[in-house]
Amino acid sequence: MSAVWTASRAAVKRRRLQTFVIGLVVLCSTTTVLLALALLSAASGPFDKAYAEQRGAHTVATFDTTKVSQEQLARTARQPGVETAAGPFGQTVVDIPKDWLWMAGGTLTVVGRADPAGPVDRIELLEGHWATAPGEIVVNWSAQGSPGTALLGTKLETSGGTTLTVVGFATSMSKSASAWVTPEQMAALHPSSAQMLYRFTDSSTEDRLSASLARATTGLPKESLTGAQTYLTLKQAFSALADSYLPFMTLFGILGLLVSTLIVGNVVSGAVVSGYRHIGVLKALGFTPSQVVAVYLTMLSVPAVVGCVLGTLAGNALARPILKVAFTGIDVGRASVGNISPWLSVVCLVGMPALVLLAALVPALRAHRLPAARAISAGGAPRAGRGLRVQRMLGATRLPRPVSLGLGQPFARPGRTLLTMAAIVLGVTTVTLSTGLTSTMVAYGNVGREDGGARIHVTTGGSGNDRTPSRLSDLQIEKRLRSLPGAEGVRARALSQVNMAGQTQPVFADFYRGDDSLYDHTIVKGRAPSAAGEIVAGPAFLTQRGLKLGDRVTLELNGRKITATVVGRLIEGDARALEATWRTLARLAPDAHATEYTVRLAPGADARAHAEAVAALDPGLHASVMDSGNAGTATVVTFSTVFTVLLTLVASLGVFNTVLLNIRERRRDLGMLKSIGMTPRQVVVMTVTSVAGLGAVGGLLGIPLGIVAHRLVVDNVGVVDFPASMKDVWHAPQLAAMLMAGVAIAVLGALVPARSAARMTIASVLHTE
């Protein structure tokens, strides 16, 4: 066994508490970092992988075949910048009835393809076989898993009288179509458009994809290109929900990393300073400067490696369920989000100990340079002159002596004080950020419930296997619901898939009539739709399509078209969903009827009794009391709380460690002070005071940082556009509480070592050198 190992092992064994604190700090930080990395990776990695495997199209372009010929389109595949292309494939839109293959009804974009393979968009067949004969259709299945074989054979009657039989289910990451038929069948359906699938040599940004498409379609007749969809849009939609968590997950990851680095730096620096005599003895014995550095680095590597391994295990255990929650309900195609790449663990297992060693290296190099004679004679670090001056100044004040002694202590070790304060600042920043996020998310979760009244959700057609049709008509249902005691407003809803010009994928349109008080709180920009042809949508929908207020789009359903204007921006919404009034639906589908109703009850009304009364109206109605929150809010609040607990713990451990080192270093001083009459209570006061001041200053600095971080996070959540009222969550009592958080973190961290200092017996302290 080498001398370095002997000395390091002994140091680890005898400094159990310090070793434990370092290990715990590294464990918490590693878990935090791994969680953040796993989420970042899951949000983009699986999509890229699955997309590459299917040779997904960088751009799916739709052309008007009345303006451009097949030959002209085929030539675009050989234009500069086109890596490879597939098509042209005939494309048309067919109507589907409600509940066909569990769909909401609306339209289906059908493409004629002889083969699911090819140089671009290699479609994966999930069940059945590819369409090889007229009358056969393969349907795109975008949900995870397989639909099974039970649905094969389902028929679809088109408006032109053609009967199509489902012979297979397939999935296309490119989302190039909702269904596929043979080219012969497509010809029989009389397509009016054609599809080209391109992979470009430069696909890095939307701008470059647009430029590549423009180059490829140079020379084609004007306005023959009717729409284009890029893979970047799909990728963004894929991670839309995760994006709402990413800003603060990343921020918490960075905070975890910073706190970890600072505290490890603090701990190591403290270990070096409090180990001056130890270093001197080692050097006097003949340890070379490099061996002294090695002793200190080895001493720290042990808890760092153990903490890192345990933190990686904990991170892996936590990341899987958290990712599953984060991606619940997101259309992920064939991409897998539950699997954590082993590389992330490798990064943590290598990166965190490296970080610890790096943080340790600076103070360890101080030990390297420290002259042995100075170290061995000092018995402690040399005191800073400024610290002594401050002590003298404080001694002259009327403050109780233990308080003035405590207040002066931070000035004796300015470097360590700064690191400790940084830990407190980050702790307070975390608490501030978390409290702000929680307030924002709770306010967001309560949107539409400001009046305090409950909501009853009513659907037609019974529930579960009970598919009893309702006896009452749509308008009769609405009238009866309004007439029930306690009902203050009724809103009827119809959901339909409509086609939007220029988009291969249909969009989900919600059509409402009746009580529109909900819009009072959900429209963050513009106004609620009122006339026919007015739509509103969430930030994700608008951003991904480059739409803004005042822009016009064309919606199509059942062959009817309407030009609609974007008049409002909702606080949030699905990236594929828009909302409009019943008047718009009346233009697209005059015979449509509502399938869902929301009843707003008067405050204090008995929601359960009301739901029972609704069910009694008609056996075809199913009523349920709506939850008072939403899963997204709960998830964010949970994440926020978990990270706050982790990082506050880490910050408190940092303070704890600093006080512990100070006490160890000042044992003789404390013994002397007790020998001249300082009571244990005064020792506690002095020790706690030494960090409480830091806590107050840390609070003052951490609060503005936390507020800025909160604003950065809520402004960058992709799918939610928080209004100012939800962002301005800070009030005087809350700020005062935040300030106290700094002091609380400091006092909590200091209390245990302060009490242990108070309990030290004078004889043992003065006896020990």
Partner 1 sequence: MTTDHNSARHVVVRLDGVHKEYGDAKALDGLSLEITAGDAVAVMGPSGCGKSTLLNMVAGLDRPTSGTVEVHGHDLGKLNETGLALFRRRNVGMIFQFFNLIDDLPVLDNVALAAQLTGTPARQARRRALELLDELGVAERRNNYPATLSGGERQRVAVARALMNRPALLLADEPTGALDSRSGEQVMDLLIDLNQIGQTLLIVTHDPQLATRCASRLIEVADGRVARESTLEATA
Residues that bind partner 1 (CB under 8 A): 1-3, 6-7, 10-11, 13-15, 277-278, 280-291, 368, 371-374, 376-377, 379, 767-769
Q: How far is the CB of 762 from partner 1 (least distance, A)?
A: 15
Q: Which is nearer to partner 1, 3 or 615 (CB)?
A: 3
In the bound state with partner 1, the residue whose beta carbon lies nearer, of 104 and 281, is: 281
User: 720: which DSSP letter?
Assistant: B
Among 454, 474, 544, residue whose Cα is nearest residue 237: 544
Contact indicator for 569, 526 with CB cutoff of 8 Å? yes
Amino acid at the residue 481: L
Minimal distance in Å, beta carbon 287 to partner 1? 6
Question: What is the rounded distance in angstroms from the CA atom of residue 174 to the CA atom of residue 178?
Answer: 11
Distance CA 366, CA 423 (A): 22
For 86, what's the count of Cα atoms within 13 Å in the CB-facing half-sphere? Answer: 24
Shortest CB 4 distance to partner 1, Å: 9
Task: Please identify, using beta-carbon distances, which residue of 187 and 285 lies nearer to partner 1.
Answer: 285
As beta bridge partners, residue 124 has: 171
- Nearer Cβ to partner 1 (67/668): 668
Question: Nearer to partner 1 by C-beta: 373 or 388?
Answer: 373
Min dist. Cβ of residue 388 to partner 1 (A) = 17
In whole angstroms, the minimum distance from the beta carbon of 373 to partner 1 comes to 4
CB of 292 to partner 1, least distance (A): 9
Amino acid in position 276: Y
Closest CB to partner 1 among residues 15, 600:
15
Q: What angle, 0 to 180 degrees and rounded to 10, lies between the N-to-C axes of helices 289-326 and 16-53?
A: 50
Main-chain phi, psi angles of 679, to 5 degrees: -80, 160
DSSP annotation of 102 reads G
Minimum CB–partner distance for residue 767 and partner 1 (Å): 8
In the three-class reduction of DSSP (H, G, I as helix; E, B as strand; rest coil), residue 67 is classed as: coil
Q: How far apart are CA 769 and CA 764, in angstroms?
A: 10
107/499 Cα distance (integer angstroms): 7
Q: Is the Cβ of residue 368 or residue 710 nearer to partner 1 in the bound state?
A: 368
Three-state DSSP class for 350? helix
Contact between 371 and 279 under an 8 Å Cβ cutoff? The reply is no
| Triad 574, 37, 32: Cα angle to 5° | 105
The two structure tokens encoding residue 310: 């345990």
Please tell me whether residue 124 adopts helix, strand or coil conformation. strand
Looking at beta carbons only, is 67 or 277 nearer to partner 1? 277
Instruction: Pick between residue 285 and residue 358 the one whose CB is nearest to partner 1.
Output: 285
Residue 461 and residue 468: Cα distance in Å, rounded? 5
Q: For the CB of residue 766, give the shortest distance to partner 1 in the complex, in Å.
A: 12
What separation in angstroms does the CA of 640 have from each of 25, 32, 386, 651, 691?
Answer: 19, 12, 41, 16, 27
- Contact between 462 and 619 under an 8 Å Cβ cutoff? The reply is yes
Minimum distance from residue 293 beta carbon to partner 1 (Å): 11
CB atoms within 10 A of CB 64: 15
**Least distance between partner 1 and beta carbon 653 (Å):** 22
User: Collapsing DSSP states into helix, strand and coil, what is residue 529?
Assistant: coil
CB of 21 to partner 1, least distance (A): 17
Of 183 and 289, the one with the shorter C-beta distance to partner 1 is 289
CA separation, residue 328 to residues 257, 336, 543, 620 (Å): 28, 12, 22, 30
The least distance separating partner 1 from the CB of residue 756, rounded to whole angstroms, comes to: 16
Rounded-to-integer distance, Cα 39 and Cα 32, Å: 11
CB of 398 to partner 1, least distance (A): 37
Taking the least distance from each CB to partner 1, the nearer of 548 and 759 is 759
Q: What is the DSSP letter of 753?
A: H
Closer to partner 1 at the Cβ: 290 or 563?
290
- Using CA atoms, how far apart are residues 738 and 726, in angstroms rounded to an integer? 19
CB 6 to partner 1: min, Å: 6
Sequence-distant (≥ 6) Cβ neighbours of residue 646 within 8 angstroms: 28, 31, 32, 256
Helices 680-715 and 732-759: angle between axes, nearest 10 degrees: 140
Least distance to partner 1, CB of residue 310, Å: 25
Tokens 């878990």, located at residue = 31
Cis preceding linkage at 402, omega within 30: no
Pick between residue 370 and residue 490 the one whose CB is nearest to partner 1.
370
Report the residue number, 215 or 277, with the smaller CB distance to partner 1.
Answer: 277
Whole-angstrom distance, CA of residue 751 vs CA of residue 511: 61
Query: Looking up tokens 């994809």, which residue turns up?
Result: 209
Distance CA 580, CA 584 (A): 6
Which C-beta is closer to partner 1: that of 368 or that of 413? 368
As measured in angstroms, the least distance from the Cβ of 761 to partner 1 is 13
Phi-psi region of 559 (alpha: psi -120 to 50; beta: other; left: phi over 0): left
Two structure tokens written together for 126 = 């999930």
Which of residues 97 and 371 has its CB atom nearest to partner 1 in the complex?
Answer: 371
CB of 341 to partner 1, least distance (A): 41
The pair of three-digit structure tokens given for residue 277, joined into one six-digit string? 């005599």
Instruction: State whether residue 305 is helix, strand or coil.
Output: helix
